[in-house]
Structures are given as C-alpha cells and as structure tokens.
C-alpha cells in the first residue's frame, strides 16, 4: 500500500530518495517523508499530502540540512491515523537516533504502545508504526542486544505481529540500512558501489536493472557494496535475483500530461504483448502457466475472484468462458469470497485476477481456495508478486508498469488473458472445434489494431464533456458482456471525477433504477453488435427509447454501421465492428477518456492520483 525506498551509496541520498518516491507515489499519497544519515547526523523531513508538499518543506528547511549518503523514504496510504504531519513517516525514536519507515499493519501495536508508555516513552503519532522506532532504540540502548544493531533489529522484528515491510536507519550506523519483510513486498536494487531498497523495482529502475526479491520473513542488511539476507532468527537466507525488463521510459510519462493518459494509449501494446506467445500457429498455448492439458480437462467449474476493475475483467470472462466451454463460472469479489464458505473442490479452477499481485483481499481468497483443494491460476501483471507466488499456476499480463492509480491498460490486458484461459479450456475440453478457436483467436489478434482506431478517434469523446454541463449522477447500461463494461465505466467515473455513477444491466432498469431517470440525466449505453445472433441489440435499442422517453440524455457506444441507434443518441461514439464478446476490449476505451475529461471539467487535474485511493490495496 505505502511506498518504501532506501539508498546507501556515495552520492547525495536526498535527491535519489525523492525521485524514487516520485515513482512510488502511486502506492499512496496521504503523506511523504525522508530520513537521511551519513552527513552531520540523522535528519528527517516529512509532510502530509502529496509529494509536492514535501518538496516545499525541503525548500523551506534547505536541502543542505539534509546532506548524507544514506536515506530511507516513504509515501503513505493512511491506515492507522489520519494523514497529518505527525503521522507521516519516517518515525523517529525517543532518543532521536533511529528512523523507520513501514508499510503494512503491526497488529499488536496496542500492547507494544502500552509497554512503551509505561516506560515513560511518549508516542507522538496515532500510527501503529511508531512503536517500531522506539523498540529498536530501546533494544540498542539496553539489555542483551545493547550496542548490536543487527541483533536489536532481529529482536524487535520477532516481537511484531502482522504484515510489514520495515526499514531501520540508525544515526550511529549511517553506512547501512536494515530492512525486513513479512507479507508485504521488498526488493533490493544492486548497483555498483550503491544499494537500493524499494517496495517495487520502480524505486530504483533509473539506477540499476539488477534486483533481488526478498522472500517471506526475510531480513536484509544493505551497505554500499553488499547485501546480506537473513531469516528472522538470524541464519543466512536466500533472495530471488532477477533482471528488470521494464525500462525507465515505461515508468515515465513520455510526453503525456498524465500516466493514465499514457497508459490508455499503451493499450494496443498491452493487449498485443499479453496475447503474444499463446498461439503456436494451430493451438492456444498456456505453456508458461504450469497448467497441463489434463489439468484443464479435469475442471468442471471455474470460480473467479478479484477486486474492482480486475473483478470486472473477470465478469467479462464469465460470459466468454460459459459460452465457449459450457461449464459454470461463478464470480465473486474477493473480499466476500472467503467469508461465505464457497463450494470448491479439486475439479474447480480458481482464476485469481490481480494487476499488482498484492491485493490482500484477493491473496486471502487464494489461500482460502487452496485450503479447499481447488487449483488456483493467477492472472497477474507484476512478476514475482505474492499472489502468483502462492498460486498453482500463473498467466502474466504484459501491460508493463501501470502507474496511474485507476486501472486502464491492465484491465484490458486482464480481459485478454482471461480470454486466453477460456480458449485454452475450450480447446482442452473440446467444446469448440479447432477452426472455431482459430477464428476467435484471429478476432483477438485483430483487437490491438481496433483499439488503436478507437484511440485515433478520441475527438468523438472530447466534445461530450464540454457540452454535457454539470453532472451530479450518471448511469451506465449494458447487456450481456456490455454489463461489465458498464460497471467499469461507472467505476472510472467515480474514481476520477468523484461523481456518483452506477452500472446496471439494461434489462434490470425497469425493476427499480428507472426511478432515477429525470430530465437531462446522462446515461451511457453500451450497445452490442447488431450482427450478433441474439436479440440483445434490439432489446437494448428498446431500453434506450424507454430512458429517452423519460428525459435522459444518452451517450451511446455502438459499432460502426449500426444505424438503429442514431435517432436515440444525444452523443454517439463509434467503435470498430467486432463480435460482441470482444467489446470489453474496445468499448471501455471511450469510457476511460470520458471519465478523465469529466474529472478535468470538475477541476480534478491530477487524474493519476484520485483522492483516498492507492494502487495496491494490501490491507483487508
């Protein structure tokens, strides 16, 4: 949830830590702070709000007061305690010598806090994190571990319960940072004569491509020339080395005014790269996923678990998989799944979809599914993250780093990956003939080009927000696979423009929500292809007429050549012709533009960082 960075080297560490936080800010932006050592002493600067506020604070105190070659930094998504200066990290110990940054939740902080209070130590913040700074100072200053920083850190870590990534910096040991991880992620960046730490590789991608992932319950001590990994009991442990294949440009805005806009334009590549390597000329392949044909054949139901946009991608997959494979697909938001006693067995394939691979709700649902004997296939965008690690198999989406907090390209890549799974199941179970599968695959392969066409026609959407006027509420309607698109469109609008928005199955409108329709209410309608065999198209045209008759202003997303909708559209946005089942990959794109436009009309300029949100939700 929070973003964590660390640096030990020979360069001025303040700027390096600040730039790293800039790339970590998508993980939380309630406050930010940096502690520096290796200069005159331990110096800390922190501020509530976005990183720009920290920049002002640094200018105010003067960067010369923050000299030093070692630094730790933090950007926060608040859990315990409001986003204030006091609650911002780093937290400093009672003797002023220890600074810590923390991501996660220290579950036993209340008794630890009481213990510290009884010792006469006054806690300055409302956070669960601050206790770690005081405990380390106490362990270092007195008792069995006195004077031994490493032993003191291990002692403290063994007293903490919950999930945490923690970095410790001590004024008397400015040549090192001691860090630990339990459940939340931590990477070491291995430079030449300098070492880095980061919640993810974006923290140090500018400086090195060589990284080591820390495993569960590991401690690492970094100095400028070396790193040493230990278990919580102090014995040597291994990390997982890897070379970073994302480049810096992928983590920068590349000429766009926001990451989100850049990522919207990266969607053709995200889908193309996700599909790449999964068709061998004759068959769909899931080779790297670790699932055999026999595994695929054996499943008699699919259970999809995910949150937010990832859930919407799974809902689209439900329509596709049931249609192609003829086995039941259930879907549930991950936070509900494990509290409901779902019925799973070894013939159940659980599809766990997560961009970050860190979402606590989805991770817990994966763990629960495994205890029920189900086989879990993760669809994930982040290499080496926790959800794929704990799953039986993984299919990576190749969307590249998604920095904008609202999901765009990762969502489209998830839909594509889910469809690969659906086709692989249909192939293994023989519910589609090979030439049918080839035909669907060809359609999928044509999608990146069609997304590029939608992007090229952005001006269709641009004028909508200008002429829409003030919007307080907006409805989104779809039928069939248009329903998940409606949900995704409504979610984007809520997140970016802070406007109340709801997605409904269009047919359900008459059963209640139609009471919301009043003169001038904007309603987005996603129209299925008129070339499909089902009656969905004519049904939705009737639905559009029903809402127009009650005064709604309609924004209609329909494919080229669909003339039936023309008389009933206040604004008509065209998408290329495609089978309806593929529409989530196209019709979502104008809705992303629309949300960004309305957000800006409403004065929310920073669409990359919507209020109250964080990119990875690592708390339940």
Q: Interface with ligand F6R by CB under 6 A: which range of 45-53, 349-357, 446-454, 570-578?
A: 349-357
- Is residue 129 at the binding interface for ligand F6R, with CB under 6 A as the rule? no
Q: Which of 125, 356, 418, 618 binds ligand F6R (CB under 6 A)?
A: 356
Query: Of 266 and 495, which CB lies nearer to ligand F6R in the complex structure?
Result: 495
Q: Decide: 28 and 129 in contact? Cβ < 8 Å.
A: no
Which tokens is 586 given? 């196209």
Q: Which of 79, 125, 309, 569 binds ligand F6R (CB under 6 A)?
A: 309
State the Cα torsion 406-469-506-446 to the nearest 10°: -50
Q: How far is the CB of 488 from ligand F6R (least distance, A)?
A: 8
Q: Which of 30, 200, 495, 608 binds ligand F6R (CB under 6 A)?
A: 495
Residues 6+ apart with CB under 8 A from 459: none
Q: How far is the CB of 620 from ligand F6R (least distance, A)?
A: 12
Residue 615 designated active-site? yes
Which tokens is 21 given? 């936080």
- Is residue 497 at the binding interface for ligand F6R, with CB under 6 A as the rule? no
- Is residue 308 at the binding interface for ligand F6R, with CB under 6 A as the rule? yes
Nearest partner of 180 among 102, 120, 128, 246, judged by Cα: 102
Looking at the chain, how many residues does it have? 620
Query: Of 87 and 309, which CB lies nearer to ligand F6R in the complex structure?
Result: 309
Query: Of 491 and 552, which CB lies nearer to ligand F6R in the complex structure?
Result: 491
Query: Of 151 and 613, which CB lies nearer to ligand F6R in the complex structure?
Result: 613
Classify each residue of 478-496 as buried b or exposed e, where b means 16 or more C-beta atoms within 10 Å of its C-beta: bbbbbbbbbbbbbbbbbbb
Could you say which residues in the range 186-205 bind ligand F6R, by CB under 6 A? none
The residue annotated as part of the active site, out of 2, 57, 262, 553, is 2
Q: Which of 71, 133, 244, 310 binds ligand F6R (CB under 6 A)?
A: 310
Give residue number: closest CB to ligand F6R.
308
- Is residue 79 at the binding interface for ligand F6R, with CB under 6 A as the rule? no
SS3 state of residue 113: helix
Residues 6+ apart with CB under 8 A from 92: 35, 42, 44, 98, 99, 133
Q: How far is the CB of 493 from ligand F6R (least distance, A)?
A: 11
Q: How far is the CB of 446 from ligand F6R (least distance, A)?
A: 26
Q: Interface with ligand F6R by CB under 6 A: which range of 108-116, 245-253, 302-310, 424-432?
A: 302-310
Report CA-CA distances (Å) from 133 to 6, 45, 181, 475, 561.
16, 16, 16, 49, 65
Q: Which of 307, 501, 541, 565 binds ligand F6R (CB under 6 A)?
A: 307
- How many C-beta atoms lie closer than 10 Å to residue 569's C-beta? 18
- Is residue 355 at the binding interface for ligand F6R, with CB under 6 A as the rule? yes
Q: Decide: 286 and 554 in contact? Cβ < 8 Å.
A: no
Which own/partner pairs from 202-207 qualify as long-range (CB within 8 Å, at least 24 positions apart)? 202/23, 202/24, 202/246, 202/251, 202/401, 202/403, 203/3, 203/4, 203/5, 203/20, 203/23, 203/24, 204/5, 204/20, 205/23, 205/244, 205/246, 205/247, 205/248, 205/251, 206/19, 206/23, 206/248, 207/16
Q: How far is the CB of 1 from ligand F6R (least distance, A)?
A: 11
Query: Of 152 and 309, which CB lies nearer to ligand F6R in the complex structure?
Result: 309
Which tokens is 432 given? 């589609």
Query: Of 76 and 113, which CB lies nearer to ligand F6R in the complex structure?
Result: 76
Residues 6+ apart with CB under 8 A from 120: none
Residue carrying the six token digits 């766990």: 352
302: left (phi over 0), alpha (psi -120 to 50) or beta: beta
Q: How far is the CB of 414 from ligand F6R (least distance, A)?
A: 7
Residue 307 designated active-site? no
Which tokens is 34 given? 């940096």
Query: Of 139 and 310, which CB lies nearer to ligand F6R in the complex structure?
Result: 310
- Is residue 260 at the binding interface for ligand F6R, with CB under 6 A as the rule? no
Q: Which of 359, 529, 592, 595 binds ligand F6R (CB under 6 A)?
A: 359
Query: Of 149 and 598, which CB lies nearer to ligand F6R in the complex structure?
Result: 598
Query: Of 274 and 355, which CB lies nearer to ligand F6R in the complex structure?
Result: 355
Which tokens is 611 given? 């209020």
Nearest partner of 579 among 525, 527, 528, 506, judged by Cα: 528
Q: How many residues sit close enough to ligand F6R to count as binding (CB under 6 A)?
A: 15
Q: Which of 31, 69, 183, 362 binds ligand F6R (CB under 6 A)?
A: 362
Q: Decide: 397 and 417 in contact? Cβ < 8 Å.
A: yes
Query: Of 127 and 362, which CB lies nearer to ligand F6R in the complex structure?
Result: 362
> Is residue 352 within a helix (H) or strand (E), and if so which, with residue range?
strand 348-354
Q: Interface with ligand F6R by CB under 6 A: which range of 107-115, 252-260, 304-312, 592-600?
A: 304-312
Could you say which residues in the range 401-440 bind ligand F6R, by CB under 6 A? 406-407
Residues 6+ apart with CB under 8 A from 390: 363, 366, 367, 370, 376
Q: How far is the CB of 610 from ligand F6R (least distance, A)?
A: 9
Q: Annotated catalytic sites, by residue?
A: 2, 615
Q: Applying CB under 6 A, which residues contact ligand F6R?
A: 307-310, 354-356, 359, 362, 406-407, 491, 495, 616-617
């Amino acid at each position: 949830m929070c973003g964590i960075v660390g640096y030990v080297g020979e360069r001025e560490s303040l700027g390096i830590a600040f730039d790293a936080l800039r790339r970590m800010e998508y993980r939380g932006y309630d406050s930010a702070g940096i502690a520096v050592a290796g200069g005159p002493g331990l110096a800390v600067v922190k501020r509530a709000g976005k990183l720009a506020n920290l920049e002002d604070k640094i200018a105010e105190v003067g960067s010369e007061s923050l000299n030093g070659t070692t630094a730790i930094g933090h950007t926060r998504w608040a859990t315990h305690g409001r986003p204030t200066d006091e609650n911002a990290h780093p937290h400093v110990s009672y003797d002023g010598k220890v600074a810590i940054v923390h991501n996660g939740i220290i579950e036993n902080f209340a008794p630890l806090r009481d213990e510290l209070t009884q010792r006469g130590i006054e806690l300055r913040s409302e956070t669960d994190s601050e206790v770690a700074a005081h405990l380390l100072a106490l362990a270092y200053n007195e008792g069995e571990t006195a004077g031994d920083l490493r032993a003191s850190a291990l002692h403290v870590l063994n007293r903490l319960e919950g999930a945490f990534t923690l970095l410790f910096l001590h004024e008397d040991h400015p040549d090192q940072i001691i860090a630990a991880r339990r459940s939340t992620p931590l990477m070491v960046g291995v430079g030449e004569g300098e070492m880095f730490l980061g919640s993810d590789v974006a923290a140090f991608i500018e400086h090195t491509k060589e990284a080591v992932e820390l495993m569960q319950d590991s401690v690492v001590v970094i100095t400028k020339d070396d790193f040493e990994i230990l278990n919580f009991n102090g014995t040597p442990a291994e990390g997982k080395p890897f070379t970073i294949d994302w480049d810096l440009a992928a983590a920068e805005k590349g000429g766009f005014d926001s990451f989100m806009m850049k990522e919207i334009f990266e969607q053709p590549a995200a889908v193309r790269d996700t599909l790449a390597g999964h068709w061998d000329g004759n068959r769909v392949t899931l080779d790297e996923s670790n699932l055999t044909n026999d595994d695929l054949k054996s499943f008699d139901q699919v259970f999809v678990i995910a949150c937010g946009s990832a859930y919407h991608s799974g809902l689209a997959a439900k329509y596709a998989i049931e249609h192609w494979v003829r086995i039941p697909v259930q879907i549930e938001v991950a936070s509900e799944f494990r509290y409901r006693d779902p019925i799973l067995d070894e013939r159940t394939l659980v599809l766990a979809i997560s961009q970050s691979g860190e979402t606590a709700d989805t991770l817990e649902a994966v763990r629960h599914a495994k205890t029920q004997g189900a086989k879990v296939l993760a669809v994930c965008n982040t290499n080496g993250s926790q959800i794929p690690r704990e799953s039986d198999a993984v299919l990576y989406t190749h969307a590249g780093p998604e920095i904008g907090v609202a999901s765009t390209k990762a969502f489209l890549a998830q839909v594509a990956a889910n469809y690969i799974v659906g086709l692989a199941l249909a192939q293994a179970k023989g519910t589609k003939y090979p030439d049918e599968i080839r035909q669907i695959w060809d359609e999928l392969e044509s999608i990146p080009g069609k997304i590029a066409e939608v992007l090229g026609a952005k001006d269709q959407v641009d004028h909508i927000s200008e002429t829409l006027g003030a919007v307080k509420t907006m409805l989104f309607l779809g039928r069939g696979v248009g329903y998940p698109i409606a949900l995704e469109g409504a979610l984007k609008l809520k997140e970016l423009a802070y406007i109340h928005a709801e997605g409904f199955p269009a047919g359900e409108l008459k059963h209640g929500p139609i009471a919301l329709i009043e003169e001038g209410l904007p309603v987005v309608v996603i129209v299925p292809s008129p070339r499909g065999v089902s009656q969905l198209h004519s049904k939705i045209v009737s639905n559009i007429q029903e809402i127009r008759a009650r005064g709604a202003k309609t924004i209609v997303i329909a494919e080229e050549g669909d003339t039936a909708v023309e008389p009933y559209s206040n604004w008509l946005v065209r998408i290329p012709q495609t089978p309806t089942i593929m529409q989530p990959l196209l019709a979502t794109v104008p809705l992303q533009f629309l949300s960004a436009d309305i957000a800006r009309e409403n004065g929310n300029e920073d669409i990359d960082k919507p209020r109250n949100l964080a990119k990875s939700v690592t708390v339940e």
